[in-house]
Chain A
Amino acid sequence: MSEGAALLEVAGVHVAFGGVQALDGVSFQVGPGEAVGLVGPNGAGKTTLFNVVTGQLRPDAGTVRFEGRPLGGVPSHRRARLGIARTFQRVEVFPELSPLEHVVVARRASRGEGSLWADLLGRGRLSPEEHRSALDLLRAVGLSSLAEVPVAALTLGQQRLVELARALALEPRLLLADEPSSGLDAAERASVARLLRRLVEARGTALLLVEHDLALVRQVVDRVLVLDSGALVAEGPFDQVVTDPRVRQAYLGRAAS
């Protein structure tokens, strides 16, 4: 991967919460259409890193570039409009809206559509075409039968799928998926894995995947980053990285000692 071709470039990011170094000089790159796994024990700083990339958290030091453009000072919603989508470890759905409306809101908001004037003139309603394409997207994640049910009535697993559909509605260049399979049963996990892989291969979306289910990570990603106590300790193909002694120590070392 050459220097200028990186889609996402994270350089020297530091984040401290009080006395705890959540991220300690993290640097890496993700190329266009590349699927990268981000693994590490709980508390390693994975979600913090996501928050820095999506702009929910301002790093104490370091830069994040997207398509070569520095993102410092760019607010969250602008980053989403640039093509960075994410899902959340603790689901952040809109309980009053249906899955269909999640997709519609995401589509319109990410394009900056829908002014108050348009609404007042009656142009804010769902067009049949919009309805159809939203349903297509929901079918792809396996939610078409629940498209009109308020999300508050869905299970946690289904809500994760809603988040995924919502993120995909942005047609993102980069998707940050934060434990998309937790709370899902085996069949749902398999379908999420297939979905993510298809996303990368067919649409050329870059993926940064945080996941504890290593089998799923192995299935989906091209490359793995290992984060421990806020620092990257290993990087490379999955099979090579899991045998790395530093990685074994990160996962098992402190528990064993």
Chain B
Amino acid sequence: MNALVSATVPGVTYGCEFGLMAVGLVLTYRATGVFNLAFGAQAFASAFVFDLLSRYEQVPEWAAFVVAVVLLAPAVGLALDRFLYRHVPARAAMARTVIAIAVLLAIPELIPLLFGTATRSRIGSLGLPANQVYFHLAGTPVTGSEITTVGVTVLAAVLLTGLLRGTRFGLRMRAVVESRRLAELEGVDAAAVSAAAWGLSSFLAGLAGVLLLPQMGSLDPTDPLAFTALLVAGLTAAAVASLRSVPWALGAGVLLGVLETVLQTELPANSVWSQGLLEALPFVLLVGVLLVNPRLRTLERSQDPLAGVDPPPPPPSVSVRDARLAGPMRWGFRLLLVAFVVSSLTWVPGNWVFSLGQGLVLSVIFLSVVVVTGMGGQLSLCQATFAGIGAFAAGQLASHLGLSVLLGALVGAAIAAAVGTVVALVAARASGLLLTLVTLAFALFADSVLFQFSWSGGGYSGVTVPRPVLGPVSFVSDRAFLLLALVVLVVVMGLVVLVQRGTTGRVLAALRGSPVGAASVGVWEARAKVTVFALSAAVAGLGGALFGSIQGPISSSDFQYTVSLAFVVVVLTTGVQTVEGAVQAGMAYAVIGQALTYLPSRFSGVEFLLFAAGALTYAAHPEGIVEYQRTRWLQRANAVLAAWDTWRAGRGPGGEQGTDRARALPSAIGGEAG
């Protein structure tokens, strides 16, 4: 009994950290409508600056607190609102989640760029002296940092609950999230309210970061994503609270903290239980809560009554194209393809051949994002996990059974498809944000548990996937492998296009438009969703096996959840609706990565600028940057053609009709070209 109590006291503190994270997620979601996965990264940024100022720059603690939490954190929130979230069209709920992920990935790039990469181990703390013992509770010492954490967390939760439930400002925030336009019609300054909401939630992130500091062993500026345990538990507590209730989020967080601490002390060390169960338990809990809590299913159900005021999403760029451009574009593409193959076989230097091959392989993996997100309309955050399954399967089969890598890749794709089916079946009734969270939980589970076995991810040493040899033909050299990757990519692209233009693609388009309408004509939504997940997982698995083959040695860190997040951001900002989008994303990813190696190392953060620039355009054009630019270019080309028609019409009879047609085409589908 005494042992229980002595485990409970630190458990409560630990749980308050989970609770604070959960409260932050709940507050941001309610106040801004964004599921802000970057909350933890924002917290880290403030913690880092606080620590930098108070310990290394000898600034007084209170002044450091003011700068890091009171000034910097809300400023970050205001900037996010002003430059990103405000521009996202109301209909693009998924785009907001993706932008949050982009921010999550960008912050770790930015911090080393600004402050260098040295890891800090002397950590400052806030409030009462961290290690001083103030009193004993049932024989357990209670330290200053514990008192501060619990006190500030409870205070924050009480204040926020009051704010959301009892004040006009809270009501306005909720109204703006529900329908920005409707709130504006009621005389609410929506821009100011959402800016304030972002400022507030980012302030909370900063506060959380500084409070959690003393609990972290060290601060590595390049790795603020290391707190997986915090993220998982925070997500679980937020899910228990249905992303709605601040007190529930705090309560659930505390309970989880206590549970974890008690289990750690009560379960016998070094038993199967403490090793297997304890590691998998948080994920099982998370998925369990996500699927069992019925209130999560109605998360995104409320619709903005004024959503119809938004212009409809732009038509795909292909439909804007004047018919006369089709021929030249097709030939131009063929020419480009031939030039690419010839160049990469002859004059392109070896390191670039490797990168281009990587780009092709990534393009295959990215096609899986086109399938699940572009066609299926669901945001999956475990595509790298599926790729990992394919890669490890091919590697293990090759090394243990001597199976050909190409065959192993197909087996890997099949295994990935099977796992994808299971994930989709588990999440059969979930969609939208809820499904996204289930996939995230699966990715985190694979990172921490599934890929850590010697039979899967190969543990520390990893797995080596050989290059394929097909009879007399060897694909061992980079140039030969590039050709193989190109063939596979073209085949997979062709298959995806067939699915897109077939029944499955149309049924999925119907489901994206109206699930109720689709059901009314006999569309079985659950089956369509499982199909698209399985297909996407298979494509990712195949691409993953090729990725393993081009890399050689691979380990679980190659397929971490952050890799999935990066994939999603890259593909969605480039263009997720077309197969070309995946290829452009894949090639850009590889080519930019290779090009950056020519820059001095301190410019490595340039990637951040690319991410940021991407996010800025993406916010306003969720169809993807390439798609948006191509539509613009095609519209310009159409305008030139129309001018040409007009000019010709003035010179001869019969031209009149042609002019009308050329003009009518863009306007019939809502284009801007005149």
**A interface with B by C-beta (< 8 Å):** 54, 56, 75-78, 80-81, 85-86, 88, 92-97, 101-102, 104-106, 108-116, 118-125, 149-150, 152-153, 163, 166-167, 169-170
Task: Report whether A93 and B513 are in contact in the complex, using a CB–CB cutoff of 8 Å.
Answer: yes
Chain B nearest CB, measured from A161 CB (Å): 14
In the complex, chain B residues whose CB is within 8 Å of the CB of A54: 520
| Contact partner, A77, options B502, B506, B524, B669, Cβ 8 Å | B524
Identify which of residues 509-537 in chain B touch chain A, using a CB-to-CB cut-off of 8 Å: 509-510, 512-514, 516-525, 531, 535
Looking at the assembled complex, report how far the CB atom of B118 sits from the nearest CB atom of chain A, in whole angstroms: 51
Complex contacts, B498 vs chain A, CB 8 Å: 119-122, 124
Q: Given that A96-B513, A105-B506 are contacting pairs, would A125 and B501 also be in contact in the complex, using a CB cutoff of 8 Å?
A: yes
Give CA–CA (A77, B525) in the complex, Å: 8
Given contact pairs A96-B513, A105-B510, A124 touches B523 in the complex (Cβ within 8 A): no
A94's partner among B319, B501, B510, B525 (CB-CB below 8 A) is B510
Partner of B522, one of A110, A125, A163: A110
By beta carbon, the residue of chain B nearest A146 is B668
Residues of A within 8 A of B313 (CB): 95-96, 152
CB pair B503–A114 under 8 Å, yes or no, is: yes
17 additional A-B pairs beyond A56-B516, A105-B510, A153-B669, beta carbons within 8 Å, are A56-B519, A93-B514, A95-B313, A96-B512, A97-B509, A101-B509, A102-B510, A108-B506, A110-B522, A118-B502, A118-B503, A124-B498, A150-B669, A152-B313, A163-B517, A166-B521, A167-B520
B553 located at the interface, meaning its Cβ lies under 8 Å from any Cβ of chain A in the complex: no
B40 close to chain A: CB less than 8 A: no
Q: List 27 A-B contacts (CB under 8 A).
A: A56-B519, A75-B524, A76-B520, A78-B522, A80-B520, A80-B521, A88-B516, A92-B517, A93-B513, A94-B512, A97-B506, A101-B509, A104-B506, A105-B507, A105-B521, A106-B522, A108-B503, A110-B522, A114-B504, A116-B504, A119-B502, A122-B502, A125-B502, A152-B313, A153-B669, A169-B521, A170-B522
Whole-angstrom distance between the Cβ of A116 and the nearest chain B Cβ: 5
Chain A neighbourhood of B499, CB < 8 A? 116, 119-120, 124
Which among A92, A111, A113 has the greatest number of chain B C-beta atoms within 10 A?
A92
Number of A-B contacts defined by CB within 8 Å: 130
How far is the CB of B410 from the nearest CB of chain A, in Å? Answer: 14
Knowing A122-B498, A124-B499, the reply to whether A95 touches B520 (Cβ < 8 A) is no
CB neighbours (8 Å) of B495 from chain A are: 120
Bound: A51/B512 CA distance, A = 21
Closest CB in chain A relative to B211 CB, distance in Å: 41
Chain A hits for B650, CB < 8 A: none
In the complex, the answer to whether B513 meets A95 with C-beta atoms within 8 Å is yes
Asked if residues A77 and B522 are in contact (CB atoms below 8 Å), the reply is yes
- A123: chain B residues within 8 A (beta carbon): 502
Q: How far is the CB of A122 from chain B (nearest CB, A)?
A: 5
**A94→B519 contact, CB < 8 A:** no
Query: Are the C-beta atoms of A92 and B520 separated by less than 8 Å?
Result: yes
Minimal beta-carbon separation of A62 from chain B (angstroms): 21
**Top 6 A-B pairs, shortest CB-CB distance:** A124-B502, A114-B503, A119-B502, A92-B517, A94-B513, A80-B522
User: Does B315 count as interface, using CB distance less than 8 angstroms?
Assistant: yes
Contact A92 B521 (CB under 8 A): no
Expressed in whole angstroms, the Cα–Cα distance for A113 and B535 within the complex equals 18
Instruction: Write out, one digit per residue, whether chain B residues 488-507 have a CB within 8 A of any chain A CB (1) or not (0).
Output: 00000001001101111111
Contact assessment for A153 and B312 in the assembled complex, using a CB-CB cutoff below 8 Å? yes
> Does B674 reach chain A (CB closer than 8 Å)?
no
The answer to the question of B268 belonging to the interface, with a C-beta cut-off of 8 Å to chain A, is no
Q: Are B510 and A119 in contact (CB under 8 A)?
A: no
With the chains together, A109 CA to B507 CA distance in Å?
8
